[in-house]
């Protein structure tokens, strides 16, 4: 296994890895089998419409994508600034515990500083995923006072 990784913006040639990451994450964390065609369209659409967000990936020395996340945007009228939501976080099992998320997060923070007008970051994590929660706390994130509510307009409640 390669010990060095490069963190960079995702590009359209990363789609297959990102699809697999999302599929694996949904199955691992929530026991959900995602529809492969919808997932492929959803991941690809980010590269077709920059308003949807952008991916950040970690790439090993042998050019394998070993982790990634998706940034999406929320405007805060209270703060007259953006919050960036960190979503679709996945690190392949062999690379977990090696600081990959920290590297991805530091990259995102640098991008936010360059962009300007970003107040902060938010993410949601399954309440039972304590391993991920510990990782987020180690990089300086904290549980907020907000509870997440939602409603699906589709039959599928995922």
Tens digit of pLDDT for each residue in 54-75?
999 999 999 999 999 999 999 9
Domain membership of residue 151 (yes or no) is no
Domain membership of residue 149 (yes or no) is no
Note down the domain range covering 108.
5-138
CATH number of the CATH domain containing 97: 3.40.630.30
Range in 36-45, 54-63, 97-106, 123-132 with the lowest mean pLDDT = 123-132
142-150 average pLDDT score: 92
Instruction: Look at the chain and report how many structural domains it folds into.
Output: 1
Query: What are φ and ψ of residue 11, in 5° steps?
Result: -130, 165
Domain membership of residue 157 (yes or no) is no
What order of strands is seen across the sheet that includes strand 81-91? 5-9, 54-60, 65-76, 81-91, 118-122
Domain membership of residue 150 (yes or no) is no
Domain membership of residue 158 (yes or no) is no
DSSP 103: H
The model's pTM: 0.92
Query: What are φ and ψ of residue 70, in 5° steps?
Result: -120, 135
Query: Quick one: pLDDT at residue 154?
Result: 83
Domain membership of residue 21 (yes or no) is yes
Tell me the C-alpha distance between 67 and 58, whole Å.
5
Q: Are 57 and 70 in contact (CB under 8 A)?
A: no
Query: Quick one: pLDDT at residue 16?
Result: 98
CA distance readout (Å), 117 to 24, 60, 85: 33, 32, 14
Share of the chain above pLDDT 90, in %: 89
């Amino acid at each position: 296994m390669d010990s060095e990784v490069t963190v960079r913006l995702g590009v359209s040639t990363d789609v297959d890895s990102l699809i697999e990451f999302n599929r694996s994450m949904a199955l691992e964390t929530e026991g959900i089998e995602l529809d492969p065609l919808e997932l492929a369209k959803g991941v690809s659409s980010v590269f077709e419409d920059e308003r949807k967000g952008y991916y950040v990936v970690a790439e090993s020395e042998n050019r394998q994508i070993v982790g990634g996340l998706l940034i999406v945007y929320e405007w805060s009228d209270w703060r007259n600034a953006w919050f960036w939501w960190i979503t679709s976080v996945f690190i392949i099992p062999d690379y977990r515990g090696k600081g990959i998320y920290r590297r991805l997060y530091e990259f995102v923070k640098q991008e936010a500083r360059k962009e300007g007008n970003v107040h902060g970051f938010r993410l949601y994590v399954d309440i039972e995923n304590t391993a991920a929660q510990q990782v987020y706390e180690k990089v300086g994130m904290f549980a907020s006072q907000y509870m997440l509510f939602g409603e699906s307009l589709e039959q599928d409640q995922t």
